[in-house]
Homo-oligomer: A and B are copies of this chain.
């Protein structure tokens, strides 16, 4: 990653990642999944516990069922594929932090393949139901599912015009040396 143009490509990918909730019908290629598994495998975690399992779901009926559970995962009903992140729940703080890292890497790998993705989030009973549907043990937490597919709108991966207003300006959250 020594060349400037490669660096700019990476920074652009990191900066421009947006949630995609509307997907076209094309299937997700195996080449992406192979990359996603390797990227997941090497994602860092607290004490290198790698406290996660991935359940890859393509079955239409299962996806539709998971989409209706309590929480916000409706976009899964329109996605050709979902990846449920199943976390060991021995330390809730580590689990949530590591899960955020894992989700981020998989979504970036998807974007590198021209695929869109969105985090679906289950709450309360939705988590218990999700665990039952995919057959995960009671000791785990099934909190998020990544909807993955090609964006329905061409260029759907790119930021929209005027979207800058949806984020705080840098000066509002970056501080030098001290917070205040």
Contacts and interface: CB of A to CB of B under 8 A. Distances in A.
Interface of A: 1-2, 6-7, 9-19, 35, 37-44, 46, 48, 50, 52-59, 62, 86, 92-93, 96-105, 108-109, 111-114, 119, 121, 134-137, 140, 159, 166-170, 173-180
A174 B98 contact: no
A134 B174 CA distance: 13
A62 B99 CA distance: 30
Contact of A114 (B2, B109, B174): B2
B177 A62 contact: yes
Contacts of A99: 97, 100
30 contacts: A1-B9, A1-B12, A1-B13, A1-B112, A2-B114, A7-B113, A9-B10, A10-B13, A11-B39, A14-B109, A17-B42, A17-B44, A18-B44, A41-B170, A48-B166, A54-B173, A56-B176, A59-B177, A92-B93, A96-B97, A97-B97, A100-B102, A101-B103, A101-B104, A104-B104, A104-B105, A108-B108, A136-B180, A137-B179, A137-B180
